[in-house]
Structure 1
Amino acid sequence: MEDGMGFWNLRNFNLAMLAKQGWRMIQGNDSLLYKCFKGRYFPRSSFLDAKESLGCSYVWRSLLAALPILRSGYCWRVGNGSSISVLGDKWIPNHPTNKVLHPINELADEMAVSELIDSKLHVWRSGTIMSLFHKEDADAITKIPLSRRVVPDSIS
């Protein structure tokens, strides 16, 4: 973060601090800051999907400046799968883009990962996955460990 003369690059430093605040908003939905911004700027979406709006505050615009950093580095951890979009989200760990590499046209854009999990047994629906996905994607999906308990999805 230093230039050649020993000065700190303040823009990068500020973006790093804003990304840290954004990460806190992703991880802790109980904070007053999160609740205020959620109600005002992204009531029907997640912080990662939030957009700039007319008349938004300087603080909100500043947080949004760090979103590309957060979007590039996050990956969902599969719990019950209800919060994760099969095609839209990064959720396949140890996969080149953390996303489905070979999308198949029959898959609905709004399909949730929960539709690929047997909710009673807490196991992947392997047959369904093998029929819906390219082998490379199917193998990567079925290698994701699932909890025996019903837990919410989280971002890591």
Structure 2
Amino acid sequence: MGRKRDRPDETPQTRLSDGRIARVAPSEITSGFEVDVDGTPQSHVDLADPTHLHFEYVARMGAVIDQLPDGPLTAVHLGAGGLTIPRYIAAARPGSRQQVIELEQLLVDLVREHLPLPRGASIRMRIGDAREGLGRLPSALRGAVDLLVSDVYSGA
């Protein structure tokens, strides 16, 4: 049985550039949180256990990441959402360097305020279009990453 939200009117939210509403709310199923956009769950984050990958497609990404050689990774993420996969890599592969490109500054601000990143995680944020952002990555990253994650959200 899901947990009842006592005060849903106090759920942290923001209006994105296209008018949709992004929210961060406690999960009704697990101990984590969900980021949803206009009511469609987009990310699940468990701050106590960032290796818990609740959504099936995200768990599949984690399974692929786990097949890479041991040790820190250099990763680029197209799309941020709740930063679930960057958090997973930071926990499972300490010392990893990560760049995230996200279109929506207000989404990043909402997530970072209400679902803070772990201390010491080397996760750098860039705001802008993913395709354009790839062209502006530091030269040391161009063609030299271990992992490129494309998880750009475009609606239900």
Q: TM-score range by the shorter chain?
A: under 0.3
Higher strand proportion: 2
Q: Greater Rg, structure 1 or structure 2?
A: 1
Q: TM-score, normalised by structure 2?
A: 0.27
Q: TM-score, normalised by structure 1?
A: 0.27
Higher helix proportion: 1
